[in-house]
Amino acid sequence: MRYIRVIDGGGNGFRRADVFGTKVRNLVKTKKGEITCVEQLTSFVDGGTLADIAGISYAVAGDIKDGVVIKSPQLPWLNGVDLKAATKDCLCKQTAVVNDMDGAVAGMGALLNWPSYFMGITWSSGIGARVCRNGQIIAQCEAGHTQLDHSPFAPLCGCGLRGCVEAIIGGEAMTRRILQETEIKGIKIPEGIHPLAFLDDKFQIGDHWAQEVYDVVALGMGTYLATIQNLFRLPLVVWKGTFAINRLKIMEKIIRHYMRSILMNKAWEPEMVFVFSPQPETDALIGAAAIFDQVYGH
Ligand SMILES: [Zn+2]
């Protein structure tokens, strides 16, 4: 058995593991901000033995092209770094560098026995998605920055535009919104409770305000999914991300109601089946190894 060493990284630090198929072993994490240059990163990759490792695959947040990190908002010190060349030079192993969302969606595919056509979507602080057909991710898209609100007063997004789906129903945007709304309404969030958890608690006891907020979120997601369904006619959507894990099951019925109300062909709503990633914690690692295999025919 020849394992692939996989490193994934984003705003919260790096993880390293050895992956074979869907098996993940020796998972190690760094703290946020512990690695801040390429030398530290390659030395982290080199930890443990590399003797029985077939190659190295990185899953990195940001725009990646031919092994080069073009732009990573979460890891700006990697901007412009040819990570593939730097790693090959220093560790003498074949190396792949993939975007973390590509990794996650390829991992979902591997874990679900490669459905022939599906979309993987992360709904957490932000929103990201990829469509995968016959084992290939069809485009490095920016699905979270699809415009949902076209008004000039729509919420500003981290990307600089207004009204992106991420800026309206992403977890970070929702947290901001709940803080603003509770302040205006004079509702006090108890100390130590996350605004989203507060919203969920209020929803559970049938609070009218919380129900309205849930409804607005479901309308946003339903509209967004209807747009996607009009374009792609997907049989399957695989979800991950804390927002989806905590709320999708409760919201699914209302999301589907809104989706149906704006789809020309109502039958396309039930066609789109929802499942969760079987291993949201490790799917990006498994997928980065799967993409390495695709690239090098391992
Ligand atoms: Zn945006």
β partners of residue 153: none
pLDDT tens for each residue of 275-298: 999 999 999 999 999 999 999 986
User: What's the gap in Å between 74 CA and the centre of ligand 1?
Assistant: 15
The CA 142 to ligand 1 mean position distance, Å, reads: 8
Q: How far is the CA of 116 from the centre of ligand 1 (A)?
A: 29
C-alpha of residue 293 to centroid of ligand 1, in Å: 32
pLDDT in tens, 87-128: 999 999 999 999 999 999 999 999 999 999 999 999 999 999
Domains detected in the chain: 3-106+280-296 (3.30.420.40), 114-276 (3.30.420.40)
pLDDT over 90 percentage in the chain: 91
Going from the Cα of 229 to the center of ligand 1, the distance in angstroms, rounded, reads 20
Tell how far the Cα of 146 is from the centroid of ligand 1, in angstroms: 7
Report the separation in Å between the CA atom of 232 and the middle of ligand 1, taken as the mean of its atom positions.
21
CA 143–ligand 1 middle distance (angstroms): 9
pLDDT of residue 228: 97
In angstroms, what is the span from residue 98 Cα to ligand 1's centroid? Answer: 22
pLDDT in tens, 214-237: 999 999 999 999 999 999 999 999
pLDDT at res. 220: 97
Name the more confident of 283 and 12.
Answer: 283
Q: How confident is the model at residue 1 (pLDDT cuts 50, 70, 90)?
A: low
67 Cα: distance to centroid of ligand 1 (angstroms)? 25
Q: What are the tens digits of pLDDT across the range 160-199? A: 999 999 999 999 999 999 999 999 999 999 999 999 999 9
Please tell me the predicted confidence (pLDDT) of residue 50: 83
> Separation of 13 CA from ligand 1 center, angstroms?
23
pLDDT at 52: 85
Percent of the chain with pLDDT over 70: 99
Whether the pLDDT of residue 48 is over 80: the answer is no
| Predicted local distance difference test score (pLDDT) of residue 297 | 85
Give residue 215's pLDDT. 97
Rounded distance between C-alpha atoms, residue 274 and residue 259, angstroms: 13
Task: Report DSSP letters for the chain, one per residue.
Answer: --EEEEEEEETTEEEEEEEETTEEEEEEEPPTTS--SHHHHHHHHTSS--TTEEEEEEEESSEEETTEEEE-SS-GGGTT-BHHHHHHHHH-S-EEEEEHHHHHHHHHHHHTT--SEEEEEEESSSEEEEEEETTEE-----GGG-BS--STTSPBPTTS-BSBHHHHHSHHHHHHHHHHHHHHHTPPPPTT--HHHHHHHHHHTT-HHHHHHHHHHHHHHHHHHHHHHHHH--SEEEEESHHHHHHHHHHHHHHHHHHHHH-SSTTHHHHSEEEE-S-TTTHHHHHHHHHHHHHHT-
Question: What confidence category does residue 14 fall into, taking pLDDT thresholds of 50, 70 and 90?
Answer: very high
Considering the chain, what is the average pLDDT of its residues? 95
Q: 28: CA distance to ligand 1 center in Å?
A: 32
pLDDT at position 74: 86
Q: Report pLDDT for 298.
A: 64
5 Cα: distance to centroid of ligand 1 (angstroms)? 33
Residue pLDDT, tens place only, 204-215: 999 999 999 999
Ligand 1 centre and the CA of 219: distance in Å? 18
Separation of CA 138 and ligand 1 centre (Å): 21
* 256-278 mean pLDDT: 97
State the distance from the centre of ligand 1 to the C-alpha of 149, rounded, in angstroms.
11
Q: 127 C-alpha to center of ligand 1: Å?
A: 10
